[in-house]
A and B are shown apart, each in its own frame.
Chain A
Amino acid sequence: MAFASPSITAYAVEATEFPDLSRRYRVTGVPKTIVNEEIEVLGALPQDAFIEQALQRFVHDARATE
């Protein structure tokens, strides 16, 4: 997704190696995705559902029609 959009940067973080990050974002199960430090997405979702939950609010057209 990062590769498909110049606005997106993606990190795959090894949770056990960085317990400080896991604590900060309350990672108790994996995969868990944190979007801009605030939105949490749990589990591995199909791409449609992931985009809906994680990214829809950052899409220009979606905001315009809200």
Chain B
Amino acid sequence: MALLSATDQQKLRESFGELTRPVRLLFFTQTLDCETCAVTRQILDELPPLSDKISIEEVNIILDIEKATQYGIDRAPGIALLWLDGEGREHDSRVRFLGAPSGYEFISLVQAALLVGGRASVLSDENRARLAAVDQPVTLQVFTTPT
């Protein structure tokens, strides 16, 4: 059963029309002890039918620990957003989600996909310059709740 209404699907289809390059969502999952992995997969599966530029790739964090480590995801469900260049090479956006993207987090995920897929940033030119001058590794963890 579709989680999104026909109206929401249509709105998203229009938004995703702005994508100028393919976006891949790496979905980090595990078989046991993950209450929200199934619903996360269900939510993510709603997206590819709305745009041929969006794809999902499942990564089991127990079986493919190398990839989980590469993307800094040690728990499930997790999502890492990548974009693909003209030659189909993957580029890490360094944007991650931990936990099921339901409620408001779903909107954040869509916004992130649009950004990674080529939409203009909302950052001012000045702030983009300040961020470009960050010269040591920074990890931001933004804690949110679904509502």
State A32–B144 Cα separation when bound (angstroms).
7
Task: Give the nearest-CB partner of A28 in chain B.
Answer: B143
**Cα(A51)–Cα(B135), bound, Å:** 14
Tally A residues with Cβ within 8 Å of B. 41
Number of interface residues of B (CB under 8 A): 39
Rounded to whole Å, the gap between the CB of A20 and the closest CB of chain B is: 9
Do B144 and A13 have beta carbons less than 8 Å apart? yes
Provide a sorted-by-A list of 28 A–B residue pairs whose CB atoms are within 8 angstroms.
Answer: A3-B94, A4-B127, A4-B128, A5-B131, A5-B138, A6-B94, A8-B131, A8-B134, A9-B96, A10-B96, A10-B139, A10-B140, A12-B98, A12-B99, A13-B99, A14-B97, A14-B145, A14-B146, A15-B143, A16-B99, A18-B75, A18-B99, A21-B98, A21-B141, A27-B143, A30-B144, A34-B143, A48-B127
